[in-house]
Structure 1
Amino acid sequence: MTDTGLPRSAERLALMRTIGAHSFDFSRQVAVMAVVNRTPDSFYDRGSTFAFDAAVAAALAAVDDGADIIDIGGAPFAPGPELPVSDEVDRVVPVIRAIRAASDVVISVDTFQPEVARGSIEAGADLINDTTGLRDPEMARVVADSDASIVITHSLAEPRTPVARPTYDDVVADVVAFLSNRIDAAVSSGIPAARILIDPGHDLNKNTLHSLELTRRFGEVAALGYPALAAVSNKDFIGETLDRDRGDRVDGSLAAAVVAIMNGARIIRMHNIRPAVDAARMTEAILGFRAPAYLRHNMGDAND
């Protein structure tokens, strides 16, 4: 048996995934997901990739820096005015087409709108990242009718709606119960288990203490047996913990990502790709998942 409670062969089968043109062995591999937002009000980049050309260039630069997945967002989850679905489609679909024409990288779309998901999949997206945990049943049907995979994320609120002082009996237990329930609903809707990934939703309707506990106890999320995503990059729980503004949270983000990986996260969703890739690959090597790029130091007759 393993830490997930599954027999080792079953765990390996559960964590072997083909997403788009790429295969991942999440029992010993960490994928880096790059964030590219086509929004003027994203919490971190503040619209720096809102323009079409800037979004495509950022995505392809992330591929060059080693990103395994590009996550395109056209509407934030955070509180704010509702964006018409047609506008969100216009923001993300042309970017997906341009990336797909240039690369076979896995393309994810951060959306809770079924129509956006449908158009994105038709344009070449491989993964739908639904921060509402399939709140809209139509989203499950859209994914089930395609070859796309789905990230099921824990959150409490309607999108773009605030939740004052969120409370939990036990935040990790409550998140695990929610994800388990939504996994069952996804499978019942026709989404194969082999196309499901999960995300505990750091900072989504959670305060800093909740997000820290989720990171510390991430293994309980991973124990559900599905590839687990940690979206920790530059979030408020890092800023509040370290007293750092948004532009000064990279080091804290990398620390949180490494702790999450050590506790079972197998996808990390990050803004700063080059350091995130290095952190992921170094952690893989420490865990014995990968060999060093080369061996030279103290390997010969003379010390180097």
Structure 2
Amino acid sequence: MSRMQTLGTTDYTQVMGILNVTPDSFSDGGRYTTLEEAVARAGAIDEVGADIIDVGGESTRPGADPVSVQEELERVLPVIEQITADPDIDALVSIDTYEPDVAEAALAAGADIVNDQNGLDNPEMQSLVATHGCKAVLMDAVNLPVDAGYNPKSDDIVVDVYERLQDRVERARVAGVSDDQLIIDPGIGFATGAEDDLELLARTGEFVDLGFPVLVGASRKSFTTEFVDLQPNERVAPSLAAHLVAAENGANIVRVHDVAETVAALRTAEALWSRQRTQ
């Protein structure tokens, strides 16, 4: 059975490795801006166990400058074309975008998945996903582009996000997207402050009740500094802790910068959890 057929349904947590081909992403901006650097990075994270390589051409960090569709295409398409043509790379390829034109071109270039930070809110994106039949990550994000000062009041953030995701799923269904195409993402770091992010993470299991594979992306995000003051590229340990909690609570996929470390931590934890269940 292929990786696409088992996406989000394996008995282990799958790892989506982040490949930002941007000059200004909050953690790794500027590291993979040439085609050679990006393709080498893709090969490296595939080799250490990534199930998916998530290619992004626009930063969503607070205060990031928006880029044109043309510029985003120029950043991501050559990378996707080379990755998908490389017989040594087994990982699926995801395009991290909310622009339908970018998603369409990326799929034509060989991408397997659309990772839409805007939750398939755009009717053009809904139509594209429905027509193509590809997998799509539907993320909750009411704060996109990200405003660091945005702090909505919520009696229960998990209930609010759950209901928004449920609404987005229904709208996608009406547009012709089938349930087996969808993966949901509660959008940690996009609509809340640190306390709400921690709550979403601790209660990941409640999103499983929606009936779709769940993706969690907590890698190097600012809420991980609530307990220890670290710069983004120093946040490996708290990111691992966050993703282990997500996996234990039912996350099917985690989206990470530190692929080798995450794969090692997950496979070790899963072996221990399995032993605990049989005792």
Q: Does TM, scored on the shorter chain, surpass 0.5?
A: yes
> Are residues 1:122 and 2:108 paired?
yes
2:143/2:150 contact within 8 Å kept? no
Letter in 2 for 1:171: I
Partner in structure 1 of residue 42 of structure 2: 59
How far residue 200 of structure 1 moved from its aligned partner, in angstroms, is 0.5
- SS at 2:136's partner residue? strand
Give runs of aligned pairs for residues 136-215 of structure 1, distance below 5 A: 136-159=122-145, 164-215=150-201
Letter in 1 for 2:169: I
Partner in structure 1 of residue 82 of structure 2: 98
> Are residues 1:229 and 2:212 paired?
no
Distance 1:223 1:27, change over 3 A: farther
> Are residues 1:50 and 2:29 paired?
no
1:217-273 C-alpha deviation (Å, 9 max, x unpaired):
111111211110110111101023322111211000000000000111110101111
Partner in structure 1 of residue 23 of structure 2: 40
2:257 to 256, 271, 274: 271
How far residue 186 of structure 1 moved from its aligned partner, in angstroms, is 1.0
Rounded Cα–Cα distance in structure 1 between residues aligned with 2:227 and 2:195: 9
- SS at 2:226's partner residue? helix
Rounded Cα–Cα distance in structure 2 between residues aligned with 1:161 and 1:140: 25
- SS at 2:227's partner residue? helix
Rounded Cα–Cα distance in structure 1 between residues aligned with 2:122 and 2:213: 22
Letter in 2 for 1:45: D
1:125/1:148 contact within 8 Å kept? no
Distance 1:124 1:185, change over 3 A: same
Structure 2: runs of 5+ lacking an equivalent: none
1:258/1:280 contact within 8 Å kept? yes
Structure 1: runs of 5+ lacking an equivalent: 1-16, 290-304
Partner in structure 2 of residue 10 of structure 1: none
| Worse-matched range after superposition: 277-286 or 179-188 | 277-286
Letter in 2 for 1:115: D
- SS at 1:40's partner residue? coil
Partner in structure 1 of residue 69 of structure 2: 85
- SS at 2:74's partner residue? helix
How far residue 167 of structure 1 moved from its aligned partner, in angstroms, is 2.4
Letter in 1 for 2:194: T
1:80/1:161 contact within 8 Å kept? no
1:134 to 116, 120, 123: 120
1:21-59 C-alpha deviation (Å, 9 max, x unpaired):
x52462622110000001000011121012211111111
2:80/2:111 contact within 8 Å kept? yes
Identical amino acids, percent of aligned pairs? 38
Q: Rg bigger for which structure?
A: 1
